[in-house]
Amino acid sequence: MPDSNAPAEALRHRFLTLEILRYNPQEAGSLPRLQSYRIEEADGMTLFIALNEIRTRQDPTLQFDFVCRAGICGSCAMMVNGRPRLACRTLTLDYPDHITLTPLPFFELIGDLSVNTGKWMRGMSERLATWLHGREETVDVTRIEERMEPEVAEAIYEMDRCVECGCCVAACGTAQMREDFVGAVGFGKIARFRLDPRDTRTDDDFYEVIGDDRGVFGCMSLLACHDVCPKNLPLQTQIAFLRRKMAMVG
């Protein structure tokens, strides 16, 4: 009896209320407000699917970012019920039927849920010089690469998994109070290059970029960064490690 089954099937699905922060800084007179949308939950629904559903069926003006929808590009981070998450990796099923969505704080707001994390990440990267400072100026691609111990390569890879989503910075109480704070993502990058035997920088050099209250000594070890990182980077131990090393320089 497929017909009588259909309504029962539909009943299993909840109706969700998504309360979304709306604000367009480009529009004169726009004031931040929360707007509610009601949608029917579907099997395996992620916030990415839910938001697209709202945009195609209910409100084409809603702004939010997605690229890979697989937790790789890091562009879909937003505050879900007050905590930063990757929307494409968040199942609505794990939440009550009332979900609030707000943009990541700290970063430049483009509109609604869309923030310019890329701009800040680039600035951070330039400030901390988060690229390999090798011995040679030019890379000779014809030569065989230097050997690296597998354990070292693995430890570096562990930190390289960062997708620059900005969740750690949005979760960080220190960053909310002090705009010039480096943030866990920056510490993660420094820790990564510190591990790299090809990088010629010493702890004195690293001190020059993170050895102050905007850097590692400003971190109050609230560890929200560690708890929200969607890639589960070992931020807690890495920051503590950097703090010890930088304190030894001082």
Partner 1 sequence: MHDRILITQAGLAERTRKSRWPARLDLLQSATGLLLALFLCGHLFFDSSILIGKDAMWVVSKFYEGYFFFGKAHPWLVSLVAGLLFVVFMAHALLALRKFPVNYRQYRTIRAHVRAMRHGDTRLWLWQVYSGFLLFFFGAAHLYQMAFWPQLIGPHASSDRIWSDALWPFYLILLTVAVLHAAIGLYRLALKWGWPRFSRPVLKFLRGTLFAFFLTLGLLALAQYMWIGLLHSDHYGERYTPSWAAPETQTAQGETP
Task: Tell me which of ligand SF4, partner 1, ligand FES, none is bound by residue 93, counting a contact when its beta carbon lies within the kind-specific cut-off of 5 to 8 angstroms.
Answer: none
Q: Is the dihedral of CA 212, 213, 215, 216 positive or negative?
A: positive
Residue 224 found at the interface with ligand SF4 (CB under 6 A): yes
Tokens encoding 144:
């065989």
Residue 65 found at the interface with ligand SF4 (CB under 6 A): no
Residue 125 found at the interface with partner 1 (CB under 8 A): no
Q: How far is 182 from 124, CA to CA, in rounded Å?
A: 7
| Interface stretch with partner 1, choices 35-43, 149-157, 193-201, 205-213 (CB under 8 A) | 205-213
Report DSSP state, residue 144.
Answer: P
Show contacts with ligand FES in window 210-229 (CB under 6 A): none
Measured at the alpha carbon of residue 128, what is the angle toward residues 127 and 130, in degrees to the nearest 5? 120
Task: Tell me which of partner 1, ligand FES, ligand SF4, none is bound by residue 162, counting a contact when its beta carbon lies within the kind-specific cut-off of 5 to 8 angstroms.
Answer: ligand SF4
DSSP state string for 62-121: -----SSSSSSS---EEEETTEEEEGGG-BGGGS-SEEEEE--SSSEEEETTEEEHHHHH
Alpha helical stretches, state H, 129-198 = 150-160, 167-171, 173-177, 183-195
Out of 171, 184, 229, 235, point to the residue binding partner 1 (CB under 8 A): 171
Out of 39, 47, 88, 224, point to the residue binding ligand FES (CB under 6 A): 88
Residue 91 found at the interface with ligand FES (CB under 6 A): no
Q: Shortest distance, CB of residue 151 to ligand SF4, whole angstroms?
A: 21
Residue 105 found at the interface with partner 1 (CB under 8 A): yes
User: Given the rule CB under 6 A, which residues bind ligand SF4?
Assistant: 162-168, 171-172, 174-175, 183-185, 188, 219-225, 229-231, 233, 239
